[in-house]
Amino acid sequence: MISFTHFHPTRVLFGRGALKELGKASEGLGRRALVVTGRTFAVKHGYLDLIRKQLEEKGVQVASFSDVEPNPTLSTVMRCAEAAQRASADFFVAFGGGSVLDTAKAANVVYTLGGRVEDYLYPKTVSGELRPLIAIPTTHGTGSEVTKYAVLVDEKAKMKVTVSGEALYPTVALLDPEVLVHLPRDQAAATGLDALSHAVEAYFSRRATPLSDMFALEASRIAARYLPCAVEGILECREWLLYASLLAGYAINFTGTNVGHGLGYPLTTRYNLPHGLANAMILPGAAVYYEAYMPGRVETYLEYLGLKGMLGGLRELLTELKRLVGAPLRLRELGISERDLESLASEGLRYQRNLQNSPFDFREEHAKRILEIVY
């Protein structure tokens, strides 16, 4: 029996030059905007001025918060919310990678509903109407421009935490592939692997639906085809990968993520490994269990990608894609000691919100074995 609920309020504008539609997209959202960016990209490449100009031409007063770091912390979210308060912001414009988009989404919660970001962490679900938010991604990875999640770092607990709920969906998403021309090779690889991990984990999830499968399979097919050339800076390839990231974002709204993220988060919080790369390091090990517990779905997945009967199966595919983009293949290549595997497994088990979405009853021995496989 097929049963699911689907709700998605975000208006999406996708295409080269979409950033030029910001002024029009902002009409009716208010008279004061807070523009949220990272620390260098938007200023270095002139995008902050371009954003400001478009908004001011529509009579919008613009303030900015340009202090979002990779893997943003709860304190960064609070500072962003305080900036919105000082500006009396009517709406947000978030221009950046997933860290920027997630910061703006979480800050919107705090600014609009009050309190502290800690008041809204999972397992709580955010409800109520927030200020409008325009999301403009500058990487082809997170899909945060169309998701109901904001993933942050609790610096005290030293772990990833999540703010989630349908209230977090951005009002508008502007996806402009031309913005991606500035993406360095290593960041293109890491964020592209993030999009792939979203698609893989969405498909091999106990919460998968026919609709999430549609998004996840197509995102996987596109990512597998275009990720290797996207890292070479070819605009058409990055354009397709941005589309794959969008589709994968739709998929995880249904399913959440599972093993790759649950065991990948400690690699980021402990070793500062880029999020997408951390996921990708784990997935070949997770594939061993996907193949054991969902052999039919693995066969369908590979067939959809045109790889039916591939020697080595799903595990080899995920390893080969890392090889093609020049990513490390094993944890030992990152200088991680084998002695750390047990504690990494223990840390990973803290992320039950992810691991419970696995297509099998995830236990401690699974965590240890997966880390051993990818070591």
- How would residue 88 be classed by pLDDT, with cut points 50, 70 and 90? very high
Domain ranges of the chain: 11-179, 183-374
Q: Over the stretch 298-345, which tens digit does the pLDDT of each residue have?
A: 999 999 999 998 878 999 999 999 999 999 999 999 999 999 999 999
Residues 6 or more apart whose CB falls under 8 angstroms from that of 365 comprise none
Per-residue pLDDT at 203 exceeds 90: yes
Answering whether pTM is above 0.75, one says yes
Q: Is 331 exposed, middle or buried (0-12, 13-18, 19+ CB in 10 A)?
A: buried
Residue 33 contacts residue 91 (beta carbons within 8 Å): yes
Distance from C-alpha of 212 to C-alpha of 6, rounded to nearest angstrom: 10
CATH code assigned to 11-179 = 3.40.50.1970
Q: What fold, for 183-374?
A: Dehydroquinate synthase-like, alpha domain (1.20.1090)
Distance from C-alpha of 46 to C-alpha of 34, rounded to nearest angstrom: 17
Per-residue pLDDT at 122 exceeds 80: yes
Distance from C-alpha of 178 to C-alpha of 15, rounded to nearest angstrom: 8
- How would residue 257 be classed by pLDDT, with cut points 50, 70 and 90? very high
Determine the pLDDT at residue 245: 99
Question: Taking the CB of residue 46, how many other CB atoms lie within 10 A of it?
Answer: 9
Q: Over the stretch 281-293, which tens digit does the pLDDT of each residue have?
A: 999 999 999 999 9
Tokens, residue 321: 């894609």
Per-residue pLDDT at 1 exceeds 80: no
Per-residue pLDDT at 349 exceeds 80: yes
